[in-house]
Amino acid sequence: MCPAGVKLKAAFASSGECYGSRRLVGALRQEGVSIGRFKVRRLMKQYDLRCAWKRKFVHTTNSNHDLPIAENLLNRQFMPEGINQSWVADITYIRTRSGWVYLAAVMDLFSRKIVGWSMAPHMRAELVCSAMQLAIAQRQPAPGLIAHSDRGSQYASADYQDLLKRNGMRCSMSRKANCWDNAVMERFFLNLKMERTWRKDYANHDEAIKDVTDYIVKFYNQDRLHSTLGYLPPNQYERQIA
């Protein structure tokens, strides 16, 4: 095996066998290996390095309610100029042999970092409130931050809206039945499932919660390369740019 092939296999393994050719080029260049995407694709084929296949994404929140709906302040402006200016939030589900467990997450759009999350076997408003409370505690944002979500009843609930108001946040919601208005968070959930949870058979909720937390803290925020960030992971991007 050639030296480039050895390093390619190591980078692929350290990514959890989820990086495609673009991110592998970025990972190898960070290690000082000058290589093009064509060669990476050829080596991936030669060594049978394959990423997980995509599956259909199913949305979880319910927007059929009579609660007040906020304007779409974010308006697909997914590239803010600094940290703690625009956060996006959503809920997804994880399958276990003991039943579904739900993940609510909050992302800072500037660095794509997951700044808050919560998991539970229910989708009540307290789930999204817990995720936002963690984000607030960890980041201490100044008043005026845009907190964007879909129109789900959890995000329209009085408890969640009161939490945003107490912390000087401006609520923003997607247009009805328009997943593209929260596309960055939808993409995070898809990556989480392709790169981790679809590959696992969790025996129970606790096992899933532990593994998803590991993905967020030790892989996604710390190591996962993002093309939007110049192939840097969120933590490193914030240290260098913020």
Question: In this predicted structure, what is the pLDDT of residue 61?
Answer: 59
Q: Please name the residues in contact with 197: beta carbons below 8 A apart, sequence gap of 6 or more.
A: 94, 95, 208, 211, 212
Question: In this predicted structure, what is the pLDDT of residue 57?
Answer: 47
> Do residues 136 and 75 lie in contact, with contact meaning Cβ atoms separated by under 8 Å?
no
Cα 15 to chain centroid distance, Å, stands at 16
Question: In this predicted structure, what is the pLDDT of residue 8?
Answer: 74
Q: For residues 203 and 133, give the distance between their C-alpha atoms in angstroms, rounded to a whole number.
A: 28
Tokens, residue 22: 């673009």
Round to the nearest angstrom and report the end-to-end CA distance of the chain: 40
Q: Does the pTM of the predicted model rise above 0.75?
A: yes
| CATH number belonging to the domain at 86-241, selected among 3.30.420.10, 3.40.50.620, 1.10.10.10, 3.40.50.261 | 3.30.420.10
Cα 104 to chain centroid distance, Å, stands at 10
pLDDT along the chain (242 residues), means of 10: 75 73 77 79 79 54 75 97 98 97 99 99 97 99 98 96 98 87 95 94 98 98 94 96 73
> Do residues 186 and 60 lie in contact, with contact meaning Cβ atoms separated by under 8 Å?
no
